[in-house]
Amino acid sequence: MALQDADALFQHKIDNEIKIEPKDFMPEAYRKTNIRQISQHAHSEIVGMLPEANWISRAPSLKRKAILLAKVQDEAGHGLYLYSAAETLGTSRDEMINDLHIGKAKYSSIFNYPSLTWADMGVIGWLVDGAAILNQVALCRTSYGPYARALVRICKEESFHQRQGFDSLLVLSKGTPAQKEMCQDAINRWWWPSLMMFGPKDSESTNNDQSIKWKIKRKTNDELRQSFVDMAAEQVKVLGMVLPDEKLKWNSQKNQYDFGEINWVEFWNVVKGNGPCNKQRLAARVKAHEDGAWVREAAIAFAEKRKMKREILKEPAI
């Protein structure tokens, strides 16, 4: 089959919602884009553990501690499925992790903000997992099969995280004055960074067109951001709190909320590595990896020893 036909067949499959599987033909750029996107998503899950792990030792009740521990553990699980999905495209976890550690691969910038109070745990669940869900639900129908299947599983757990986050905020919102203040303060700090999670404006995003044509991406950044604002603007009322945006207003003509402008200078600054925690987050990941090197080496050495022993035992006796 000529390459041209293969390309046409590939696009035909995409157009007809037939999933692309690891052994199928795919254009090199499609493979690369998927590796980039899936590994970036995996890194975000793993780096995203850090701001929340920061509060595990200080959770205010045993029940909240258990919920938080289990949540952060889920994120590790997400990272695991995603690294495996990316590996089906011919890369390895080691390679991907190395790219993260040398600063070549990105992760979601939201995790470069600090988690300062207990209320941040609730707000991260509500807004950060909430924004991730919108992104990911749109991706559950993405064209690459292993990624789409990993996402279905992940989305279920993310919705659960979002509900738990909101639930813990609801408790704060009905609590003491100090708890209410803590809740509003956390919303104030996380609101704009959450909006930034959807990426640059469509007019400035470089990857959108091709990704939409290949159905790697199913909705544009701005579309997703708008749904997020519409959702959060209603939910925040249940908490009796406000979103820190004076321009936020229901627009009955468009049937959606109008909202203010994101601080794009801050956005690009954090992307470029100047966020409040970029250095600490990466340093924490690198340290864990380096401290664990002897453990991984020992596990490999031991497995090899055992394999040799088994082979010796397998030799026929006579």
Partner 1 sequence: MQQVNSANNQTDLIELDSGKVPLWEGFREAFILHLADNALILAQRNSEWCGHGPVLEQDIAITNISLDLLGQARNLYQYAALLINKEPHNLSASSLHSGGKEVTEDSLSFLRTEREFKNCLLVEQPNGNWGYTILRQYLFSVYQFLLYGQLQYSEDENLAAIAVKSLKEVTYHVRWSSEWVIRLGDGTAESHKKMVQALEEVWSFTGELFLPEPYENEAITGFDLVALQHSWLQQITNVLKEATLFSSALNEKVFMQSGGKKGLHTEHMGYILAELQFMQRAYPDAEW
Could you list the residues that contact Fe ion (CB under 5 A)?
Answer: 45, 75, 78, 129, 158, 161
What's CA 108's distance to the chain center, in Å?
7
From 207, 167, 146, 155, select the one nearest 19 (Cα to Cα): 146
Name the residue with tokens 């089906």.
88
Q: Which does 129 bind (CB under 5 to 8 A by kind): partner 1, Fe ion, none?
A: Fe ion
Closer by beta carbon to Fe ion, 78 or else 189? 78
Taking CB under 8 A as the binding criterion, the range among 8-16, 56-64, 222-230, 264-272 that sits at the site for partner 1 is 56-64
Q: Which of 63, 141, 237, 279 binds partner 1 (CB under 8 A)?
A: 63
Q: Backbone dihedral region of 123: left (phi > 0), alpha (psi from -120 to 50 degrees) or beta?
A: alpha
149: contact with partner 1 by CB under 8 A: no
DSSP code at position 144: B
Q: Which of 164, 211, 220, 278 binds partner 1 (CB under 8 A)?
A: 164
284: contact with partner 1 by CB under 8 A: yes
3: contact with partner 1 by CB under 8 A: no
Closer by beta carbon to Fe ion, 70 or else 298? 70
Closer by beta carbon to partner 1, 93 or else 218? 93
Q: List alpha helices for the chain, DSSP H.
A: 3-15, 28-47, 49-53, 62-87, 93-101, 119-123, 129-139, 145-173, 177-196, 208-213, 221-239, 264-269, 278-291, 293-314
From 41, 183, 33, 177, select the one nearest 121 (Cα to Cα): 183
From 17, 29, 137, 94, select the one nearest 293 (Cα to Cα): 94
The binding site for partner 1 (CB under 8 A) comprises 46, 49-50, 53, 56-67, 69-74, 76-77, 79-80, 83, 118, 157, 160-161, 164, 168, 171, 175-176, 178-179, 284, 287-288, 291-299, 301-302, 305
